[in-house]
Structure 1
Amino acid sequence: MSKSKKEIFEEIILDILRSNPKVQIPYNALQNILQVNGKKDNDRLKGAINSLFDRNLIVKRKGGAIQLAADKSGDSGSKNVVTGKMDISRRGTGYLITDAFDEDVRISSKNLGVALQDDIVKVELLKRGRDKRREGKTLEIIERGRSMYVGALKKQGKDNYIIESDQKSAHIDFFVLPDNIEEATPGDKVAFELVDWVHPKSLPEARIIEVLGKEGSNEANLLSILAENQIKVGFPEEVEAYAENISEEVPEEEIMRRHDIRDKTVFTIDPEDAKDFDDAISIEMLDNGHYYLGVHIADVTHYMPRETTLDEEAYKRGTSVYLVDRVIPMLPEKLSNGVCSLRPHEDKLAYSCFMEIAPNGTLIDHTIEETVIHSDHRFTYEQAQEVIDGGQNEYSMEVNMAAKLAHVLLDKRFREGSINFDTPEPIFVLDDNGKPIDVKLKERLFAHRLVEECMLMANRTVAKHVKMMRRRSSKKTTKDLFPFFYRIHDQPDLEKLKNIEENVQPFGINFHIDSPTVSSKAINMLLEEIEDTSLELTVNDLMLRAMAKAEYSPNNIGHFGLGFENYAHFTSPIRRYPDVVVHRLLKSYAAGKPGYSYEELKKIGSHCSEQERAAIDAERDSVKLKQVEYLSQHLGEEFPGVISGIMSSGIFVDLKDIHCEGMIRVSDLDDDYYEYDEKRHCLIGRNHGKKYQLGKEMRVKVVRTDVKARQIDLELVDDGE
């Protein structure tokens, strides 16, 4: 028996109120939502409201507004209700990530309600599904997870507009009223915000906030990636105005207050296209045979006091973002490329860490000082490498001395437990329209290592410095005594390491995981064993995925990947907000004043870690986009590859020339019926026993690309057998 219109009204009203339990909805708003036209519909609506009121399901408020009745059953504390973050697949199935269980709670599309990607929601647990998986139903949206979404504006009919959402942004399309279209025209890619979503059977309403460009254009594609990851490009006017008012001249009284080392030889080594020079180096040999290394960092905090509009914006961003063809800076250009940048032949304010280091790499003594520097020379990595390889330069002595020290520090670091990751990075040659015309793997020079080792030493030293301050203090507890902001890295995921163990065993590689922890020595031995083999790229990637994500926190658990007990980020305040925090803490403690509280640092750490993850995702997405665009021009062409992953649905193949992953679907392997062997992590032909497993080299053809979804489909040409 079909429901009456009054009953349908009751059902929709209850759904809306349950999704918004604290909201009072005016009568006229209900009329708009339910599209009530004429006296009959109005009477039905009043009847529905009275029926719900008589059953104590709603309460009536002033002016005819209604609200959900208070739940007296105590359901919020029930074991059948959990809270978590919503992750929605491309197929529209939700997965609630919750601390309550190790596994996610699956929510079918019909039970999603008005939840969107990344929302914090309350979910009612239902009976387990046939596969024994936990199932749930959305009860309430606690907090929307995104401030903006991305899609393409389309016109439907005379005055109707729809935004087709990008898959990563939202699982549903939105409608937008003509008044909320701004300057957009059909065919534009747009960033938009949610106005309201009243019922799962209706479309959510959107308001366009930015036109990203014509759908499919390079500009629209890259700006979409930023918007998908909640990253804004332009700075608010008041922030730009604040930056523009900062003088580039260094006042004489500030020079007098600082350690003036403008007479010391100082140089920078950076990428050829860099403009934001965060760090500079000085080095000399002391009479006792020790190195005296100076790492000089742009003194951003001098120009950016706490609680200013500039500081608030830098905190929101958390980090600069480096896409394939552009940088989205944390600070306005006036600061990042001008006032703070340690450009050659200019007096600059710096915060310097001076380290006396023994010939074996041991730190003997150190000081951390506010300085004035004058960079004598700007090297690119390639120019510095020429000097290391024997080329002549006015500063050859200093560069070679730094290279010799870097060798010592690098060897010492690996001996003491640092993990030796060296994953190739694709570099794109783009035409004037941003179209990739060539791709190659970035060459890893020792000049990169030189800078890296000097920066790691400084970062490690400032963290040790605070530990020493605590030791000198008479107080016993350290949580509230000189709280500090560490870069931490937990132990790797043992299940993922077990997976690597099982994958490399068929190749005769002995990598055993038989205890709750794993040593960095065992990981390094594995990485050495697979070096220059077909497994190298794949196992490196699998190992990186097994690693915990590095984070920022005042709770120092050490850095597993580097093998350091004490480590902080000090060397890049132009592009990382955590380094700004570290500078402020060090300056406060040097002046005998408190800095940030432990609780403040926990909050900042959580936010900065989240912003860093968004930036990494955006950077990876931009690389994948250019790889797909590049291969779109090479359809039908063949490439050498190696199997990098296997699922029941297909084989992932890494194209060795461009370090780009595509997929061969199992349905396209027509020489046999292949089954996935979960224990051995391989596909095996049922009739002929042919096996596809990790590390197998093959030749593949690019058959399909999807730029919008950033996917590559491959076809097997030759499996080498």
Structure 2
Amino acid sequence: MDRNEEILKEIGERIYIGIDELAERVELPSDMLRGIVDELEREYLVARTKSGKYALASTMGLFRGTIDCKRGGFAFLRTPENVEDIFLSPSHKGGAFDGEDVLVRLLKRQSGGGHLEGKVVKVLSPLPVEVVGTVQARNGTVFVANDAPGSDDVYIPKRSRRGAKNGQKVVARVTQRAFRGKSAEGEIIEILGKAGDAGVDILAYARRFGLVSEFPDACRRQAEALTAEQTAMEGRTDLRDRMVFTIDGADAKDLDDAVSLRILENGNYELGVHIADVSHYVREGSPLDKEALRRGTSVYLVDRVVPMLPKELSNGLCSLNAGEDKLTLSCIMEIDRRGELVAQKLENTMIRSSYRLTYEGVNRLLAGDTEECGRYAEIKDTLAEMNKLAKTLRARRFEKGSIDFNIDEAQILLDGKGIPKAVTVRKRGDAERMIEEFMLLANITVAQQYYYMELPFLYRIHEQPDAQRMKELAVFLGNFGIHLKGFQNVHPHAIQDVLTQAEGRPEEIIVNTVTLRALKKARYAVQPISHFGLAADQYCHFTSPIRRYPDLQVHRIVKRLIGGKMDDGYIRHLETVLPEIATQTSARERNAIEAERAVQDLKMTEYMARYIGEEFPAVISGVTNFGLFAELDNTIEGMIPLACMNDDYYVYHEKEYCVIGEHTKRRITLGDKVRIKVAAADVAVAKIEFTFADI
């Protein structure tokens, strides 16, 4: 527990406490403590009473969080604390826009035991804020109708319209919030195109999440200068005579990892994982580095990428393209036939990839396809040995308790106009699993090495599940006759056992999904906390520096040590910057996941709009007090509102994950196989609605 947590704990236990008593309890001089408490007050974690005592802000009815606006104009406050969502009426939003940081004062609980209700007393996010919407002319007045559900429209004065026309999608910068019945005001800063034109919808979603493909001029100039540099061999191990190759998706252009395999004289494997040496080009503090940290990660939006680095680097200079000399950072691992790591080393290297292989092609080769085996006769045996090693590593990982969730991933195919023509389940074969195992092993190997050196480092952590969530999961699993062994300090083996019990059963996908949701989210941190899902004591991200900033930062640390420059000054520097990098990259990862999911939902809704009135088999994937969710075989999910189930009045039973008809006693439970009819597909809000085909 750090000092701030200790102070907050003492304030919370005493409810109201003076500075002198608090100083005595935390054993700090009053003058020093007052500065710390003042900072906590500025962060709205504590509040001061009129009598000068301190209390937790929540004790005083003040809560800080993110505003989540809904259709209809109302909103909810989402807090990081263990507090239920707080309802905000349209008149109590304080002019805040969806996703902004706000301070809310609790007013009351709604009648009938409903939501807590509050009022925004301060918008903490600064202006200007950017919104995406559609230009609408109303009686000579121009507004931008905000695409974010429930957020205010923005009035655009004539001087600020930039020639935007009615019906165009635009980005507007809000300069003045809505206040006392007066609309928010702003200026148009970018015209995206006419609503409905090819690609404009995805571009609009990208902008809603703050994603911009174009790079600042300083970054472009730096990228151009780097591509003109000559590749230098100095200080590197030359591996260009090794049989090295890449295996990626057919449409991948940013190839940041390559692999090699040799059988040593002692019968052990020598596995090489060779990663693009992005840190050689993107130096810390440079324009490219600052922009990469701001972005945090590349974002993949169905048919396009918003990259972390300019394409001159991501697709060209750094990408491990076949037949080209490339600078790499290699993790060379000796592994015995049981899959145990015997030795490892990290080296600055240069490689020349011999082949650019695809997952699809390697899967066909491993299955014995004659054409693929003939095309890659030179490496056919190597690929077979790689597959054998990968299966050994995978089995060993599972022995330790590593968890593998069998959850389908959607693949959305668009036509030339950006219209979805198919939604299928993305298949994973031996090739995908092989590369996954090799990358996991390299990430674990690097993390363990730096952990034992006790150096500042950037880890990828996945914390122990919350005991209460595990208790709730155990109740849910009991509905299917599945037993979860212990939930106070659950072991990964127990989760793995649950998935094994569900394997091959009708409820397998639901059990996998609900179990995954019960676990905490992985994040970046400087503390060497274990990775629960992988059953790894230490883990990091090392293998994708073209598209993830944490990997780039890890490379810098590794290369500093390899180069003998890990001095006290650099260690102090790492201790300063790594916590900030961990926070920033974790936040950018969450934003990327939300953006990718939102665009998928949009295209799935557009796809289902052509099937209104048609029936499909589905499985109940969610149960709430307002409706059921059903998932089709291709992973598309839609909601069945309880209000639309006219055969009975259905009562929600939270602990049993079901609804039960009050008169018919019909029970509909999570995991039930059903037949649905597509009732509606509202592309404007990316929502699909189903009804039961037999109700």
Q: Does 1:93 align with 2:77?
A: no
Q: 8 Å contact 1:88–1:171 — kept in the other structure? A: no
Q: 8 Å contact 1:118–1:144 — kept in the other structure? A: no
Q: Distance in 1 between matches of 2:86 and 2:626?
A: 23
Q: 8 Å contact 2:65–2:80 — kept in the other structure? A: no
**Alignment deviations for residues 347-396 of structure 1 (CA, whole Å, 9 cap, x no partner):** 00001111111111111111111101010111100111122223422111
Aligned pair partner of 1:455 in 439, 450, 466: 439
Alignment of 1:397-476 (within 5 A): 397-470=381-454
Q: Distance in 1 between matches of 2:252 and 2:155?
A: 42
Q: Does 1:120 align with 2:101?
A: yes
Q: Distance in 1 between matches of 2:233 and 2:189?
A: 45
Q: 8 Å contact 2:96–2:177 — kept in the other structure? A: no
Q: Does 1:155 align with 2:133?
A: no
Q: 8 Å contact 1:81–1:122 — kept in the other structure? A: no
In 2 relative to 1, CA 163–689 (structure 1 residues): closer, same or farther, beyond 3 Å? same
Q: Distance in 1 between matches of 2:128 and 2:65?
A: 12
Q: Which moved more, 1:693-702 or 1:123-132?
A: 123-132
Q: What is the aligned partner in structure 2 of residue 672 from structure 1? A: 648
Q: Distance in 2 between matches of 1:265 and 1:405?
A: 17
Q: 8 Å contact 1:119–1:146 — kept in the other structure? A: no
The residue matched to 2:155 in structure 1 has which SS? strand
The residue matched to 1:687 in structure 2 has which SS? coil
Q: Distance in 2 between matches of 1:165 and 1:506?
A: 43
Alignment of 1:193-212 (within 5 A): 193-197=173-177, 199-212=179-192
Q: What is the aligned partner in structure 2 of residue 620 from structure 1? A: 597
Q: Distance in 2 between matches of 1:465 and 1:282?
A: 21
Instruction: State the percentage of identical aligned residues.
Output: 39
Q: Distance in 1 between matches of 2:178 and 2:658?
A: 47
Aligned pair partner of 1:486 in 437, 459, 472: 459
Quote the offset at 1:101 in angstroms: 5.0
Q: 8 Å contact 1:503–1:694 — kept in the other structure? A: no
Alignment of 1:359-370 (within 5 A): 359-370=337-348
Q: Does 1:663 align with 2:634?
A: no
Alignment of 1:192-341 (within 5 A): 192-197=172-177, 199-247=179-227, 250-251=230-231, 254-341=232-319
**Alignment deviations for residues 121-175 of structure 1 (CA, whole Å, 9 cap, x no partner):** 33333344432754432222232398421111101223x211111134x621111
Q: Which moved more, 1:503-512 or 1:454-463?
A: 503-512
Q: Which moved more, 1:503-512 or 1:519-528?
A: 503-512
Q: Does 1:640 align with 2:613?
A: no
Q: What is the aligned partner in structure 1 of residue 678 from structure 2? A: 702
Q: Distance in 2 between matches of 1:151 and 1:94?
A: 19
The residue matched to 1:331 in structure 2 has which SS? coil
Quote the offset at 1:199 in angstroms: 1.4
**Alignment deviations for residues 223-278 of structure 1 (CA, whole Å, 9 cap, x no partner):** 12212212122112221121112136644xx3132111111110100000111100
Give the 4+ runs in structure 1 shifted more than 6 A: 71-78
Quote the offset at 1:182 in angstroms: 1.9
Alignment of 1:327-406 (within 5 A): 327-391=305-369, 392=373, 393=376, 394-406=378-390
Q: Does 1:559 align with 2:531?
A: yes
Q: Distance in 2 between matches of 1:634 and 1:145?
A: 43
Q: Distance in 1 between matches of 2:535 and 2:228?
A: 40
Q: 8 Å contact 1:213–1:219 — kept in the other structure? A: no
Q: Which moved more, 1:525-534 or 1:132-141?
A: 132-141
**Alignment deviations for residues 18-60 of structure 1 (CA, whole Å, 9 cap, x no partner):** xxxxxxxxxxxxxxxxxxxxxxxxxxxxxxxxxxxxxxxxxxx
In 2 relative to 1, CA 365–183 (structure 1 residues): closer, same or farther, beyond 3 Å? farther
Q: What is the aligned partner in structure 1 of residue 125 from structure 2? A: 143
Q: Distance in 1 between matches of 2:495 and 2:523?
A: 21
The residue matched to 2:388 in structure 1 has which SS? helix
Q: Distance in 2 between matches of 1:164 and 1:147?
A: 15
Q: Distance in 1 between matches of 2:265 and 2:385?
A: 15
Quote the offset at 1:74 in angstroms: 6.7
Q: Distance in 1 between matches of 2:133 and 2:74?
A: 20
Ranges in structure 1 where 5+ consecutive residues have no aligned partner: 1-70, 471-481
**Alignment deviations for residues 562-614 of structure 1 (CA, whole Å, 9 cap, x no partner):** 11111110000000011110000111222232254223111111110111111
Q: Which moved more, 1:450-459 or 1:395-404?
A: 395-404
TM-score using structure 1 length: 0.84
In 2 relative to 1, CA 483–603 (structure 1 residues): closer, same or farther, beyond 3 Å? same
Q: 8 Å contact 2:98–2:148 — kept in the other structure? A: no
Aligned pair partner of 2:540 in 543, 546, 568: 568
Q: Distance in 1 between matches of 2:180 and 2:474?
A: 45
Q: 8 Å contact 1:146–1:230 — kept in the other structure? A: no
Q: Distance in 1 between matches of 2:53 and 2:108?
A: 17
The residue matched to 2:135 in structure 1 has which SS? strand
In 2 relative to 1, CA 345–415 (structure 1 residues): closer, same or farther, beyond 3 Å? same
Structure of higher CA gyration radius:
1
The residue matched to 1:382 in structure 2 has which SS? helix
The residue matched to 1:525 in structure 2 has which SS? helix
Q: 8 Å contact 1:699–1:718 — kept in the other structure? A: yes
Quote the offset at 1:690 in angstroms: 1.1
Quote the offset at 1:198 in angstroms: 5.6
**Alignment deviations for residues 311-366 of structure 1 (CA, whole Å, 9 cap, x no partner):** 11111111000111111111101000000000001100001111111111111111
Q: Distance in 1 between matches of 2:128 and 2:659?
A: 39
The residue matched to 1:102 in structure 2 has which SS? coil
Quote the offset at 1:424 in angstroms: 1.1
Q: What is the aligned partner in structure 2 of residue 32 from structure 1? A: none
Q: 8 Å contact 1:346–1:374 — kept in the other structure? A: yes
Q: 8 Å contact 1:527–1:540 — kept in the other structure? A: yes
CA RMSD of aligned residues (A): 2.2
Q: What is the aligned partner in structure 1 of residue 169 from structure 2? A: 189
The residue matched to 1:558 in structure 2 has which SS? coil
Q: What is the aligned partner in structure 1 of residue 556 from structure 2? A: 584
The residue matched to 1:277 in structure 2 has which SS? coil
In 2 relative to 1, CA 98–654 (structure 1 residues): closer, same or farther, beyond 3 Å? closer
Q: Distance in 2 between matches of 1:187 and 1:209?
A: 16
In 2 relative to 1, CA 718–145 (structure 1 residues): closer, same or farther, beyond 3 Å? farther
Q: 8 Å contact 2:612–2:679 — kept in the other structure? A: yes
Quote the offset at 1:554 in angstroms: 0.7
User: Aligned partner of 1:117: which letter?
Assistant: D
User: Aligned partner of 2:458: which letter?
Assistant: F
Q: How many residues get paired?
A: 632
The residue matched to 2:413 in structure 1 has which SS? strand
Q: 8 Å contact 1:348–1:372 — kept in the other structure? A: yes
**Alignment deviations for residues 433-455 of structure 1 (CA, whole Å, 9 cap, x no partner):** 01111221111101001101111
Q: Distance in 2 between matches of 1:371 and 1:101?
A: 49
In 2 relative to 1, CA 216–96 (structure 1 residues): closer, same or farther, beyond 3 Å? same
Q: Which moved more, 1:669-678 or 1:571-580?
A: 669-678
Ranges in structure 2 where 5+ consecutive residues have no aligned partner: 1-48
